[in-house]
Amino acid sequence: MKEILISKLFDYIRDNNPDIVFALEAEDKLRYWLYDKISGVEGLIKDLKKSGQPDYIIEETCMDDMTKELRPSRYNYIINLLEHEFEKDYNQLIQSGLLQHEVVNMIGYCHSVFDDLKFSEETEGNRFTYYAIAGAISEYLESNRVNETVSNELQQSAETEG
């Protein structure tokens, strides 16, 4: 049961919270984090087994408990916002293969906005939250365009001097 839950939890964070996966892998703590989450539901597993619940109910209940602090997904929220409000940028990021990397960067860039607005399942549908995050993403994308333009100009300048 524990190995199944570890696999399901890893799949969940890989798909919904890749920023967490990257951060944990960078510190070589992913496996520790997964096992820590599983040990947090060991009592729940025992109680559900005692009450005769089928494995799929136990797995679903444990996954719900282990992922509650990870919902809603900031990653999926930004992907959805990008797709609807910044379609051209979204398509360029997909074509370049940088979508996941850039969305993880956007999560970091928008971190204080998410926190200040107490982003949660209750506030996820709030229009003010949507526009505040959209504004932060717009700033992020614009700063990347400026940095990209400066980088390209420096590269062209170096080529003509050489």
3-state secondary structure 65-99: HHHHHHCCCHHHHHHHHHHHHCHHHHHHHHHHCCH
User: What is the model's pLDDT at position 154?
Assistant: 44
User: What is the model's pLDDT at position 151?
Assistant: 46
User: What is the model's pLDDT at position 145?
Assistant: 77
**pTM above the 0.75 mark?**
yes
Q: Is omega for the bond preceding 72 within 30 degrees of 0, making it cis?
A: yes
Give the up-direction half-sphere exposure of residue 95: CA atoms within 13 A in the CB hemisphere: 6
Blockwise average pLDDT, block size 10, the chain, 162 residues = 96 97 96 96 96 96 97 97 97 96 96 96 95 97 72 50 53
User: What is the model's pLDDT at position 144?
Assistant: 87
119: left (phi over 0), alpha (psi -120 to 50) or beta: beta
User: What is the model's pLDDT at position 150?
Assistant: 43
Neighbours of 13 (CB within 10 A): 22
Residue that the structure tokens 């400026």 belong to? 146
